[in-house]
Structure 1
Amino acid sequence: MSDLPSGAEHVADYVLGQDLRIRILTTAEETNGQFDLVDAVMPPGAMTPLHLHTRYEERIWVVSGSFQLWAGDEAVTLHPGDFYTIRMNVPHAIHAGPDGGRALTLSSPAGFGKLIAQAATPVDRASPETELDLELFMAVTAELGDVVLGPPGALPADLEQAQGR
């Protein structure tokens, strides 16, 4: 969980299953929809599904730990202080390193914070058994223009192979 102070009323803690813990630092409402900012923590070995965003870019600044990131035809390992921009419509997946990872993630225009606020479980209602509500998650991702392309472990190169490239 993030060690940042609670601060203003809008700051809320959420879990997305057991693989992502998030504190929303700045909401779309506060920025007129221009961006949102979250503090995200992934445990060791956790991995996102292969996905893309059709309505916003994602900018990641690593605070601690490390992440392997696949975006389009790029594969990078990010360490504390590293920054990476994932452009709209670029298939990508993120894998937390052996010590897990913590990153500040800015989406512009706002999008990711909305996904978390609508599809994640507030931490005060979560338990070690809390699972991702997949039906709700998929409905919210579709509403926000996000597209899940494959399960955790799938990479952008898998799409190219499936399409015969």
Structure 2
Amino acid sequence: MPTTTTPLVRNTDDAERRWFYGGGLHSWLVRESDVGDGFLLFEDTVDPGKRTPLHTHPAADEMFYLLDGSMLLHIDGVEHEVRTGGVAVIPRGVPHAFLAQAEGARMLCLHTPGGGEDFYRTASEPAVPGEPAVAVDFDRIQQAAASTGSMTIVGPPPF
């Protein structure tokens, strides 16, 4: 099992930022390479109406902590509303999807153990200040999922 052996301090302003082709801006607070593959932690800022396809992470548990906004979270056939300050934990292999509500959402996303960074890198582009966000491209998401194995799309958005 990977263990973290090197201390790390990183402020949000110093985080690597990437436009995700699934919609949203990722600010990578802790990359797998920073901590010996123990986990991946990023802030995700999404616009109202952003939705994900139904998917699983075969080798990592995923946790969302909602900093602002609200979202509907579909986990294994059951729909939940998560509001500011709420948390959701999705075990590896469990089908899930989310839909950002009218005000959008800003959340911390944790994958443990690490292993998803390759998917997110393949499915994103560096965010350059002053340049617009990339357009949502689910074909690119599907290709990244297939090539990395870090995510499996199991169906369309259930919303």
* 1:144 aligned partner: 149
Q: Summarize the Cα distance change of 1:65–1:13 in structure 2 as closer, same or farther, 3 Å threshold.
A: same
Amino acid of the structure 2 residue aligned with 1:66: S
RMSD between superposed Cα atoms in Å: 2.2
TM-score with structure 2 setting the length: 0.82
* 2:55 aligned partner: 51
Contact 1:18 1:130 in 2 (8 A): no
| 1:100 positional shift | 0.2
Partners of 1:49 and 1:140 in 2: how far apart? 13
| 1:97 positional shift | 0.8
Say whether residues 1:116 and 2:123 are aligned partners.
no
Q: Summarize the Cα distance change of 1:140–1:129 in structure 2 as closer, same or farther, 3 Å threshold.
A: closer
Partners of 1:141 and 1:125 in 2: how far apart? 27
Partners of 1:69 and 1:100 in 2: how far apart? 13
Partners of 2:48 and 2:136 in 1: how far apart? 18
* 2:13 aligned partner: 6
Say whether residues 1:66 and 2:70 are aligned partners.
yes
Contact 1:14 1:22 in 2 (8 A): yes
Partners of 2:106 and 2:86 in 1: how far apart? 12
* 1:104 aligned partner: 108
Contact 2:56 2:151 in 1 (8 A): yes
Task: For residues 90-134 of structure 1, give each alpha carbon's deviation from its aligned partner in whole angstroms, at most 9, with x where no partner exists.
Answer: 111100011000100000011344322232011118954733455
Contact 2:116 2:150 in 1 (8 A): no
Q: In proportion to residue count, which structure has more helix? A: 1
Counterpart secondary structure, 2:128: helix
Q: Determine what percentage of the aligned residue pairs are the same residue.
A: 23
Question: Gaps spanning 5+ residues in structure 1: where?
Answer: 156-165
Amino acid of the structure 1 residue aligned with 2:97: A
| 1:150 positional shift | 2.1
Say whether residues 1:19 and 2:26 are aligned partners.
no
Question: Gaps spanning 5+ residues in structure 2: where?
Answer: 1-10
TM-score with structure 1 setting the length: 0.79
Q: Summarize the Cα distance change of 1:126–1:53 in structure 2 as closer, same or farther, 3 Å threshold.
A: farther
The number of residues matched between the two structures is 148
Counterpart secondary structure, 1:6: helix
Partners of 2:114 and 2:79 in 1: how far apart? 25
| 1:80 positional shift | 1.1
